[in-house]
Amino acid sequence: MKSKLYKSLACSMLGASMLTLGSCTDLSETIYSEIASEQYEFSESDNQGQFATVYSSLRDFYWAWYGYADLDICTDLWCIPLRLGVGWGDLYISFHKHEFHAGLGHLSGLWTNGYAGITACNKLLDQTESLKLTDSQVAQLRAYRALYYYLLFDLFRNIPLETTFYNNPEGYQPKQATPQEMWDFIIGELNDVKNACGTDVKAGKNGEMNNYVVHMILAKMYLNHNAWFNNHSDNSYYEKCIDELETILAESQYQLAPNYEDNFKEDITTSPEIIFGIPFEYLYAGGNYFANLWMNEAGRATWQFTGWATGGGGALNQFLNTYKGIQVDYATNKATATDKRFGLCWIGGPQVDYAGEKIMVDGTQLNYTYNMRSIDNPGCYPMEGYRLQKYEILEGDWGSSYDDIPFFRLADAKMMKAECLLRLGGYKGETKEDAAELVTEVRRRAFDNEADAKRTVADLEGNSVYKYGYWENTAKQDESDNITSELDTNGDIELGGLLDDLAWEFVAEHHRRQDLIRFRLKNNPQQNVYNGKSWFCKKAITGNGHEADIFPIYRDILNGNVNLVQNPGYSE
């Protein structure tokens, strides 16, 4: 965010680029990052600068090359295909097809950056006395550590539990905790500190920890418990989820932003909807690469941004077809929808530059096509696929690199409560009808007509409008189409309408993989949508296997620690 440039400059002097728990050390102050704590008595203002890595690791976890933001490519919303004529993209095919293996570089980045954040927290907590950390700072560090563990637990499940850095013996190598041990630790830590991190709403928007963020992490844990443990016999976790959400929903400073796009601006701290954000700033805390990932190199002219562009990402037309009121002119590749989020999120068809002139590529106007042909056989040509414009794209060098990330927002809390009410059939006097109203509240800003925004219980419990099924066109350009189209069973997804709403609201916000794992098939309750449904160039997994719900541990990480055991279903 450009408004925080002066603050990022100060933080960068400490080797950091994220905001700290309080304020960054002034430029005039001494830099103590290389002074051992036992040799210097830190003041409270001094030790703020020591928290830098706690925050920068989250930024790296989310948007470093091979980051958390990319994991939507495992889902039914968008992909990064092999781009013909460009020569890259094959790195991401295995994720789209769910052909996971221990040699995928993505897995190294997620694990390494996640544990970098945990290590940063442990180092500081080990020095609580010498650094003179306040009770609130200790609570916030414990909460941040639990956040990292929540993310790693979701991705890998069988992970080491480490609570110290300086107190381990020489040559120590960690062992994995059981999933239940890890669950108990995360829940225990969050419950211990959920009323000790402060109630400053703005702090959460700036990437700092407060009580509301802790309640949100707890709610996420409870919401996903049954799916993570593949045991759907205990609905009490949905009750616990609602209990945590009520603290957030009762805070009057949180409101739905009047405009959907307010949550994806360069600076999201002005949005009343943001519960927890990850601040980005181009020069010293850059890394939101959505514009760079999605836009064709020539397409940069639409916004006059001059940074790199790969033209990699493409939206699955099976998903685009689900938007309410979608109308497609296949001759021109232009599409419109009644749902405003379609136009706010996606750009397609013939492209023009900032001045309104046609963007030409080798004598042909740049035209993002509505359809893509194949993930890798033969792949997609440079103009295939609609592109994401959800995050504000600014002119100049940065594209979207200034844009903060809305990690948790109020719309999410409302939708989570709605899901739990539907699964429970009601709770503490609230009913399924209240769930439908919560979803309608979130939808209202996306429609001009109240009737279009309205969702009923029948809508949410009914069929998904997504036409699942394997689809691929293996013909090359200028060849006759060679299409494989195998339609899946329709109407077999629990709460299918709600699953659709989650996609429309949260596409490209790190939600979809978790959602698809949580939602099950009616005709096979032991199987989820993530594994059990097929879509563009991705086949369904038959049977009840859940190995793909988590990722394998990266090969080099396994080889570096004899105590680590590969996740079930994967080879070393």
Q: Residues 332-386: pLDDT tens digits?
A: 999 999 999 999 999 999 999 999 999 999 999 999 999 999 999 999 999 999 9
Is the predicted pLDDT of residue 24 greater than 50, yes or no? no
Handedness of CA 195, 199, 202, 208 (dihedral sign): negative
pLDDT tens for 107-135 read: 999 999 999 999 999 999 999 999 999 99
- Say how far apart CA 251 and CA 297 lie, in whole Å: 44
The answer to whether 182 touches 550, Cβ cutoff 8 Å, is no
Kindly state the DSSP code that residue 462 receives in the 8-state scheme.
Answer: S
- pLDDT band for position 156 (50/70/90)? very high
What are the structure tokens assigned to 127, written together? Answer: 């020095």
Q: Omega into 378 within 30° of 0, i.e. cis?
A: yes
- What is the percent of the chain with per-residue pLDDT over 90, rounded to a whole number? 81
**Which residues neighbour 525 within 8 Å (Cβ) at sequence distance 6 or greater?**
232, 494
Q: How far apart are CA 8 and CA 14, in angstroms?
A: 10
Q: Do 554 and 102 meet the contact criterion of CB atoms below 8 Å apart?
A: yes
> Whose structure tokens read 């685009």?
320
What integer pLDDT is reported at residue 60 of this predicted model?
Answer: 94
Q: Which two tokens stand for residue 519?
A: 């939602």
- Measured CA to CA, the distance from residue 118 to residue 141 in angstroms comes to 9
Q: Is residue 524 within 8 Å of residue 509, measured between CB atoms?
A: no
Q: Which two structure tokens, joined as six digits, stand for 274?
A: 């943001």
The per-residue pLDDT for 355 is 96
Strands 364-365 and 346-347, bridge-based pairing: unpaired
DSSP state of 547: G
Q: Determine the residue type at 168.
A: N
d(CA 303, CA 266): 14
pLDDT value of residue 428: 98
Q: What is the DSSP string of 398-439?
A: TBTTT--EEEEEHHHHHHHHHHHHHHHT-BTTB-HHHHHHHH
Per-residue model confidence as pLDDT tens digits over 518-552:
999 998 989 999 999 999 999 998 877 789 999 99
For all residues of the chain together, what is the average pLDDT? Answer: 91
How far lies 328's CA from each of 240, 241, 313, 349, 486, in Å? Answer: 43, 40, 20, 10, 22
For residue 252, CA distances in Å to 112, 203, 216, 263, 273 come to 38, 16, 16, 18, 11
pLDDT tens-digit map of 224-272: 999 999 999 999 999 999 999 999 999 999 999 999 999 999 999 999 9
Binned at pLDDT 50, 70 and 90, residue 44 comes out as low
Handedness of CA 68, 275, 12, 1 (dihedral sign): positive
More confident residue, 5 or 353: 353
How far are the Cα atoms of 380, 470, 527, 532, 536 from residue 487, in angstroms, in the given order? 22, 7, 18, 13, 11
On whether the CB atoms of residues 107 and 553 are closer than 8 A, the answer is yes
Alpha helices per DSSP H over 157-235: 179-193, 201-205, 211-229
**Residue pair 430/421 in contact by the 8 Å Cβ criterion:** yes
In angstroms, the CA 143 to CA 190 distance is 6
pTM above 0.85, yes or no: yes
Confidence of residue 3 (pLDDT cuts 50, 70, 90): very low
What is Dmax (Cα atoms) for the chain?
75
Plot region of 444 (φ>0 → left; ψ -120 to 50 → alpha; else → beta): alpha
In terms of C-beta density within 10 A (0-12 exposed, 13-18 middle, 19 or more buried), how is residue 479 classed? exposed
Rounded to whole angstroms, the Cα distance separating 148 from 301 reads 38
Q: What pLDDT shows up at residue 29?
A: 29
Q: What share of the chain is helix, strand, coil (3-state, %, to 5)?
A: 45, 10, 45
Nearest to 281 by CA among 196, 405, 453: 405
